[in-house]
Amino acid sequence: MDAQVGVSKCRGFTLLELLVTLSIAAILLAVGVPSYVTFIDNNLSPLKPMICSIVSIWRAVRRLNVALRYAWSRLLAATGVAVLLVLLSRLGIGIRH
């Protein structure tokens, strides 16, 4: 009966168990990470030009979006809301009252 009570009170990890586990994990990472990096470099090399072109297109679209927002805000500031209503009506977008 005393053995069962002693076992139930013993919870958690000892410092030695924790150090052994962390040492094993560090060794596995030291061996595995360089192999993983080499694997990724070898398998993604055909995709790198496509990824670069997608990124450059995305940046150009963002720049165009900023320019259009600026131009639209300047147009509204210069002409007022009446021009906005005319443009929206020509685009087929009506405003309900």
Domain chopping of the chain, boundaries: 13-45, 48-97
Q: State pLDDT tens for residues 31-60.
A: 999 998 888 888 877 888 888 899 999 999
pLDDT at 6: 54
Task: Using alpha carbons, list the distances in angstroms from residue 86 to 77, 79, 95.
Answer: 15, 11, 11
**How far is 89 from 95, CA to CA, in rounded Å?**
8
Is this model's pTM higher than 0.85 or not?
Answer: no
Between 69 and 18, the more confident residue is 18
Token output for 49? 């030009």
